[in-house]
Chains A and B, each alone.
Chain A
Amino acid sequence: MQVLVPEPQFKSTETQLASRPGSLNSKVVGFLDGWGHTLEDGTIEMYPLMSQIRSGLEEKFELGGVVWQKKPHIGKPVPKEMLQEFVAKVDVVVNGECI
């Protein structure tokens, strides 16, 4: 019996993993996350889990800085312009994913 297999062609995303730095010393770490934590005054800060990761990294490395960007929507990709602006400011990215 001749069967056709359900294995499609895949659309190439033309995306490769970014090269990894040897150390985070002097690197600017970007946090990209859909979640945030709203304070009493209405301002939003990093989600507690992200804050803890940040603290952990700051204890281990002499970071060059930290940039936090809140995604406009937790279920959709970040708008291209926002992503480009963000990526231009940082050396590495910690990306938050969960919906």
Chain B
Amino acid sequence: MSTPAARSIEVADHDAWQELAYESGWTDGLPVSPPTAEAVREIVEYLGRGRDEDIGVIPPALGIATVEQIAINCVMAGCRPEYVPVVIEGVKCMLEERFNLNGVQCTTNPCAPLLIVSGPAVTDLGFNYRENVFAGGSRVNATIGRAIRLILWNLGRGFPGETDMATLGHPGKFSFCVAENVEDSPWEPFHTDYGVDAASSAVTTFACDPPHALYIPGDDKRIMKILAQSIPALGLIAFHSAGQYMVIIAPKPARTLADAGWKRSDVKEYLFENARWNLGQLREMEILDETDHVKTHWGGVDGAPSVRDRSDNEMLPIVDSPDDIHVLVTGGSGQWWCAVLPGWGTYGGFAVTRPLEAQVSKGG
């Protein structure tokens, strides 16, 4: 049994712990479970890794995410030990350069890292991937998302008004974790788009706004046309800086599309070609300031495309390529819901997918 590296303190009872956690700033407002030495040890032993093993450094405060510190935050979040490999993989995703976690933590944009789990781990751990998938009802979804947030809070110290300068933020900053509904999806697992073998489990992180729900009943053409018309809102950060966005398609519309021959890559290609802004309309509305890149991605600054020499009937894409559009099937099967989750523009937070290295046992 290894010796804890973290400072250990005695508290009288659960209430005393809770008050201490609030006074010490160890939580963002929600109550947290006491990280008892025993519970932390249980996670470390489950992982079979050293307490001091360094998983990475969490910006902006540059707190070192050791296995033990991750375990402490996972206990506080309410995770069972078998959930923790998913948390660790999520941390590794966020620490890849293109995710730009420092920026995600500090930006004025409301974005929060969304964790997406796909593959056999979804059923092995008991994730909810049906009704209310973005909200409550499942311990594994809620506590893994919560652990990610507490790690960003306690190790990265993304504190509002100090380092986290999000003008609005969003509720996903408490917990933001979903799983793919691979059981009802008509397509290959989500992670196959990112080079992970279909039979594997994977974790993806993507910094984004909360889901904006879209109700689109009908046949495949109607679904895709309305989806394409609904996405290009002028207030999207993509209007200023492109980047990436995620589209959620519930199983019912996904099945309708697949039955009509649509593959996931077709959906991305169609949205890239059709979810666009009309240049003439932008000029007519006098909202396209072509001389100042602060106002639009289309100012021709820093390698961005310029619209100066383009005609009024040109349609401007929201992002640079179909690969900047992520399509995930999740949620309940009963209705025709879709959703769009805009990313953080060109600044970072790009989707990062990693195979789940550790085997996870079936959860309770």
Residue of B nearest to A70 (CB): B302
A4 touches B17 (CB 8 A): no
Asked if B24 CB lies within 8 Å of chain A CBs, one says: yes
Min Cβ gap A61→B in Å is 28
Asked if B72 CB lies within 8 Å of chain A CBs, one says: yes
User: Interface segment, B173-181, B196-204, B293-301, B316-324?
Assistant: B293-301
Asked if B287 CB lies within 8 Å of chain A CBs, one says: no
CB-defined interface of B290-317 with A at 8 Å, one 1/0 digit per residue?
A: 0111100001111000000000000000
Number of interface residues of A (CB under 8 A): 28
Asked if A20 CB lies within 8 Å of chain B CBs, one says: no
In the complex, chain A residues whose CB is within 8 Å of the CB of B40: 4
Asked if A96 CB lies within 8 Å of chain B CBs, one says: no
In the complex, chain B residues whose CB is within 8 Å of the CB of A11: 57, 62-64
Taken together as a complex, chains A and B put the C-alpha atoms of A1 and B39 apart, in Å, by 12
B100 touches A75 (CB 8 A): yes
CB-defined interface of B316-348 with A at 8 Å, one 1/0 digit per residue?
A: 000000000000000000000000000000111
In the complex, chain A residues whose CB is within 8 Å of the CB of B37: 2-4
Taken together as a complex, chains A and B put the C-alpha atoms of A96 and B10 apart, in Å, by 45
B13 touches A1 (CB 8 A): yes
Taken together as a complex, chains A and B put the C-alpha atoms of A1 and B35 apart, in Å, by 10
A36 touches B293 (CB 8 A): yes
B17 touches A9 (CB 8 A): no
B292 touches A38 (CB 8 A): yes
Given A42-B300, A74-B347, check contact A5 B65 (CB 8 Å): no
Asked if A67 CB lies within 8 Å of chain B CBs, one says: no
Which residue of B36, B66, B100, B292 is within 8 Å of A3 (Cβ)?
A: B36
Residue of A nearest to B37 (CB): A2
Asked if A39 CB lies within 8 Å of chain B CBs, one says: yes
User: Interface segment, B101-109, B184-192, B270-278, B356-364?
Assistant: B101-109
Min Cβ gap A79→B in Å is 13
Count of chain A to chain B residue pairs whose CB atoms are closer than 8 Å in the complex: 111
Asked if B227 CB lies within 8 Å of chain A CBs, one says: no
B294 touches A8 (CB 8 A): no
In the complex, chain A residues whose CB is within 8 Å of the CB of B66: 8-9
Which residue of A13, A72, A75 is within 8 Å of B62 (Cβ)?
A: A13
Which residue of A8, A40, A42 is within 8 Å of B64 (Cβ)?
A: A8
Taken together as a complex, chains A and B put the C-alpha atoms of A73 and B291 apart, in Å, by 18
B4 touches A4 (CB 8 A): yes
Taken together as a complex, chains A and B put the C-alpha atoms of A37 and B11 apart, in Å, by 56
Given A8-B65, A11-B57, A11-B64, check contact A2 B36 (CB 8 Å): yes
A5 touches B301 (CB 8 A): no
CB-defined interface of A1-41 with B at 8 Å, one 1/0 digit per residue?
A: 11111111111010000000000000000000001111110
Taken together as a complex, chains A and B put the C-alpha atoms of A1 and B10 apart, in Å, by 5
Asked if A44 CB lies within 8 Å of chain B CBs, one says: yes
Residue of B nearest to A47 (CB): B294
In the complex, chain A residues whose CB is within 8 Å of the CB of B8: 2-5
Taken together as a complex, chains A and B put the C-alpha atoms of A38 and B150 apart, in Å, by 41
B9 touches A2 (CB 8 A): yes
Asked if B12 CB lies within 8 Å of chain A CBs, one says: yes
Interface positions of A from 57 to 74, Cβ below 8 Å from B: 72-74
Asked if B154 CB lies within 8 Å of chain A CBs, one says: yes
Given A2-B10, A9-B64, A39-B291, check contact A75 B35 (CB 8 Å): no
Which residue of A3, A4, A44 is within 8 Å of B68 (Cβ)?
A: A4
A76 touches B63 (CB 8 A): no
In the complex, chain B residues whose CB is within 8 Å of the CB of A7: 6-7, 154
B62 touches A10 (CB 8 A): yes
Asked if A99 CB lies within 8 Å of chain B CBs, one says: yes
Min Cβ gap A12→B in Å is 8
Partner-B contacts on A (CB < 8 A): 1-11, 13, 35-40, 42, 44, 47, 72-76, 98-99
A-B pairs, 6 with minimum CB distance: A75-B347, A8-B63, A4-B6, A6-B154, A11-B62, A75-B103
